[in-house]
Amino acid sequence: MTADPAGVLTGTHFLDGDQACCEGALAAGCRFAAGYPITPSTEIVERFAQRAPLVGGLFVQLEDELAASIAIQGAAWAGAKTFTVTSGPGFSLMMEHIGYAAMTETPCVIVNVQRGGPSTGLPTLPGQADLMQTRWGSHGDYEIIALSPNSPQECFSLTLEAFNLAEQYRTPVVVLMDEVVGHMTEKVVIPPAGEIEIVPRRYTRRAPEDYLPFRAGPDGVPEMVRAGDGYRIHVTGMTHNERGYPEVSVETQEKLLRRLVGKIRDHAGAIARNQETSIEDAAIVVVAYGISSRVALRAVQMARESGLAAGLLRPVVVWPFPEERLRELAARARGFLVVEMNYGQMVREVERVVAGRAPVRLLGHAGGSVHTPEQILEAIVSLEPVAEAVP
């Protein structure tokens, strides 16, 4: 194991996705994690508990996921970069605190290694049925950022990016993995620390008498302070004014939520990231994310080999949803096939954006296994005549 002087792992390694996720958090500067064991995410914090003391960090195992998801927010206000990890049932329990983090603009990262559900479901087998819960799970109006890796290498890089986005927009960010990606082992290249871009926390330079904890900058994001540094701060999940104090009025609610939603929506183009393969002349566009995108890539290659003009659009950032790019493709594509391990979640977003300009089909199942390339190819072939019939 090669580490830089700060103790962060560098070089080329064979890691599974959970291990790589841990290294991404450490490379991002995360020094505090709280969690409760749950398959298939536990290995992330098992490794963090071993590695964090080497870089001055700390892992705390708490009594449940509710405690973990609020402990990381307290640590964030004390100045730490923080994260927690979980899966299906635990993710459900964290929803109230994800909404709290959105309302209080607390930068933190939540890693959800998805498994089959609902309820206890399939603890050791994959699923992709948490996509909509990630976006809409907590109550009220808020926006979320979520990234979906499809390899151990991306478990490293996208976890690091999740921390950067959390700091840039002062918001909770979700890394939406799945069991297959979490447990697969591949080569992971970790650059030297000096080559990794880290977004620092937005600490104010204002004097205490001039500082308001929730006064936004030009991009809609306020500056932060550390609790205990001599600044007056008040953090509440209630509708609040720029001082952070509750102000329960229609006018304050409108002003606050417009800013909270706007700081993500107004920068959706900058946040969005897609991976595209053979898309420029594609008549049939396959949309897939996470592990499903890797299988879909082979199916697209097989379709091309058989003379079908198929392409792959893989949202790397699943929220905000890549609406603009999908609208561009809907103007010329003849059909869309959405491959996901659920009975229909991202497909509904694709249908909404395509808005009837081309047929949209779902190839889904209840989780527990991945699709085969042959199944996806068969669906592409079956969609071709339908697409041809659309005027």
Domain extents in the chain:
2-195, 274-389
Please give the CATH architecture assigned to the domain spanning 274-389. Answer: 3-Layer(aba) Sandwich (3.40)
pTM of the entire structure?
Answer: 0.96
Mean pLDDT for 374-379 is 98
Residue 7, pLDDT > 70, answer no
Spatial separation of the C-alpha atoms in residues 383 and 374, rounded to whole Å:
14
pLDDT at position 384 is 73
Q: How many CA atoms lie within 13 A of 117 on its CB side?
A: 19
Confidence band for 388, pLDDT divided at 50, 70 and 90: low
Structural domain 2-195, CATH architecture? 3-Layer(aba) Sandwich (3.40)
Say yes or no: do domains 2-195 and 274-389 share a fold: yes
- 173, two tokens: 């960010």
Give the residue-averaged pLDDT of 283-297: 98
Q: Give the separation between CA 142 and CA 155, rounded to whole angstroms.
A: 25
In the chain, DSSP finds a helix count (H) and a strand count (E) of 14, 15
Does the pLDDT of residue 6 top 90, yes or no?
no
